Amino acid sequence: MEPPGALPRPHSPAPEAAEPPGSPALPAEEHPPAAQEAKRRGPGPQGPAECGARVGAGDGREPGGRARRPRVTVDSSKAKTSLEALKISLRQLRWKEFPCGRRLPCDIYWHGVSFHDNDIFSGQVNKFPGMTEMVRKITLSRAVRTMQYLFPLEYNFYPRSWILPDESSFFEKEIRMMKDRDPSWKPTFIVKPDGGCQGDGIYLIKDPSDIRLTGGLQSRPAVVQEYICKPLLVDKLKFDIRLYVLLKSLEPLEIYIAKDGLSRFCTEPYQEPTLKNLHQVFMHLTNYSLNIHSGNFIHSDNANTGSKRTFSSILCRLSSKGVDVKKVWSDIISLVIKTIIALTPELKVYYQSDIPSGKPGPTCFQILGFDILLMKNLKPMLLEVNANPSMRIEHEKELSPGVFENVPSPVDEEVKVAVIRDTLRLVDPHKQKKKDYWILQEHGYYKTSFFFFCCSSQTLEHVSDAKEELLDAGPPERLDHDVSTALEAGLPSLCLKQVFPKYAKQFNYLRLVDRVAALFIRFLGVKGTTKLGPTGFRTFIRNCKLSNSNFSMASVDILYIDITRRWNSMGIDHKESGMCWQAFVEAFFFLAQKKYKSLPLPEQVASLIDFCEYHLAVLDEKRLVCGRG
């Protein structure tokens, strides 16, 4: 055990937390023998996928003489530790795997870590550019905080957080003030290093002065968060929920949630934090990678017992005790949608920098791992989002002291294979082509991804609505074909449930910052950048008619220098100079406050967005007329 207040960090295997960046790919020999695997994992016409596999083998005809549908091709050469689950999914789908990559383009590229694992110019990649950066603890806290500023009630599912070292003194001051106001308040805080995973470096404190400076906060910034002291317990143990969420598309926004997830249990009975038990990791942290080292850890052979269970088994149990599990689910869905709405503006900035509209590039989708804690009163709280949730379906078993072997984990396999397989079914390029074709037919529009940043959000919503209507009302032959394909393959119904745009009407009012991002992107100018230069900022002010006698261009320059310098001194990204996205948001909120003092906060921002969009539309119209002239 480390010094008081610190949580020890035993040797850890990988599963369940975020995949640590750069984790090595499994060498081929580590895969279970094909025959054994085939027996365990059911039907699949292909043998193990080979390197340099034949393309379009056979005569291209089904046994009955019908022309065979070309098989979807998947490059799995960068799949790393998600490889096993991916292989099973591809076999179930009868898709063609290229484990060593392929000279010709593939339909889908499956990356284990990030978007930037390859140069890809077409097809689909299972990662968004910038997602890893976006869900780091500090960036996520900032993105949620922006939304908490505008919509405090809607975003109260994220514990109050401070960023260290930038806000150390502010944190101390705020807590002192709160304690003075209410001397009976005895809070606990959890300190989490930025970019950490698997509970690495996490510790609990009772007082801001207990933050450990050894190792240097400067070298390892962190987030300090209010600790949720009253979690829901099952069998007297604290547990959290890992839910899989598919971000299928950023524009239009499409979100799916897996109907089942995993519950990871602590291995010591829970007690509310006291100075004596603060350092007991097995009581306070639910990380699998930590608890597996406890003598009390129970490997689960079925979904209802042990230290890792399916979330559905927990819901069943709660339901039998009279809990309204439908309400729990709808609160979780709402938490997921709101969190993604908080992430999308900056993700769009990254996206356009990597794949500017007009440049050939792949489209993206991504499976995210949401870590959620249910409080005693059943309110779900967001702990973190993982860009690379572990997709490993085996766990380490200690055969004799110090000797470990990888053995299959049925609980992991049940949940994770379904998530990967059904993600692939949803992004199936053959179905996608049909969808695009129908959009083109009905509306004369181009492929949605092509005009990503070319239209206003309203137009995109219109297209999205139209698309949904179109799919709902799709011609019978097409639906029949899809159903029969699914039946032929003997696949179960989808485990992923669409939640957006399905529930868009309830949440669209929260998408204000997305529109601010569209303004930021418009003025970024140079392709491949994520920071706004002084000229870009001046042009934004001028084109949106924001400068007047009360706010001269000299004041604009001072505002730019002030905010940009402060954000750049926080040392997030020194590679580029200029105003980063978060700094622009601060400047925008400042301008909104200045211009619409009398309005409540969200209306100030909404009014300024309307004002800017109006002037830019007028300008575009003028340019169009001049162009025609």
Q: Min. distance of Cβ 158 from ligand ADP in angstroms?
A: 9
- Whose Cβ is closer to ligand ADP: residue 146's or residue 286's? 286
Helix (H, G, I), strand (E, B) or coil at 534: helix
Contact flag: residue 380 with ligand ADP (CB under 6 A)? no
Neighbours of 222 (CB within 10 A): 24
Residues 571-590 that bind ligand ADP (CB under 6 A): none
Residues 506-565 that bind ligand ADP (CB under 6 A): none
Q: Min. distance of Cβ 225 from ligand ADP in angstroms?
A: 4
Q: How far apart are CA 95 and CA 117, in angstroms?
A: 22
Rule CB under 6 A: choose which of 384, 413, 428, 586 binds ligand ADP. Answer: 384
Nearest CA to 463 out of 482, 444, 489 is that of 444
Name the one range near ligand ADP by CB under 6 A: 48-56, 211-219, 283-291, 358-366: 283-291
Q: Min. distance of Cβ 251 from ligand ADP in angstroms?
A: 28
Contact flag: residue 200 with ligand ADP (CB under 6 A)? yes
What is the sign, positive or negative, of the torsion defined by CA atoms of 141, 145, 146, 148?
positive
Helix (H, G, I), strand (E, B) or coil at 256: strand
Contact flag: residue 285 with ligand ADP (CB under 6 A)? yes
H helices present in 78-119, as ranges: 83-93
Residues 297-336 that bind ligand ADP (CB under 6 A): none
- Write a three-state SS string for 540-568: HHHHCCCCECCECHHHHHHHHHHHHHHHH
578 conformational bin, left if phi > 0, alpha if psi -120 to 50, beta if neither: left
Rule CB under 6 A: choose which of 84, 97, 133, 240 binds ligand ADP. Answer: 240
217 conformational bin, left if phi > 0, alpha if psi -120 to 50, beta if neither: alpha
- Whose Cβ is closer to ligand ADP: residue 89's or residue 289's? 289
Rule CB under 6 A: choose which of 112, 130, 196, 380 binds ligand ADP. Answer: 196
Name the one range near ligand ADP by CB under 6 A: 26-34, 96-104, 142-150, 223-231: 223-231
- Taking residues 241 to 280 in sequence order and writing x for each that binds ligand ADP by CB under 6 A, - otherwise, the string is ----------------------------------------
Rule CB under 6 A: choose which of 78, 111, 192, 425 binds ligand ADP. Answer: 192
Half-sphere exposure of 386 (CA within 13 A, CB side): 25
The number of residues that bind ligand ADP (CB under 6 A) is 21
Name the one range near ligand ADP by CB under 6 A: 113-121, 142-150, 284-292, 432-440: 284-292
| Burial classification of residue 574, based on how many CB atoms lie within 10 Å of its CB (0-12 exposed, 13-18 middle, 19 or more buried) | exposed
Q: Min. distance of Cβ 410 from ligand ADP in angstroms?
A: 22
- Whose Cβ is closer to ligand ADP: residue 190's or residue 606's? 190
Nearest CA to 528 out of 364, 363, 359 is that of 359
Helix (H, G, I), strand (E, B) or coil at 257: strand
Name the one range near ligand ADP by CB under 6 A: 209-217, 222-230, 293-301, 305-313: 222-230
Nearest CA to 509 out of 546, 469, 449, 457 is that of 457
Q: Min. distance of Cβ 272 from ligand ADP in angstroms?
A: 11
Strands 262-265 and 237-249: antiparallel
Tokens of 401: 């002291």
Q: How far apart are CA 316 and CA 627, in angstroms?
A: 64
- Whose Cβ is closer to ligand ADP: residue 199's or residue 380's? 199
- Whose Cβ is closer to ligand ADP: residue 189's or residue 560's? 189
Which residues form the interface with ligand ADP (CB under 6 A)? 17, 159, 190, 192, 196-200, 202, 225, 227-228, 240, 285-287, 371, 373, 383-384
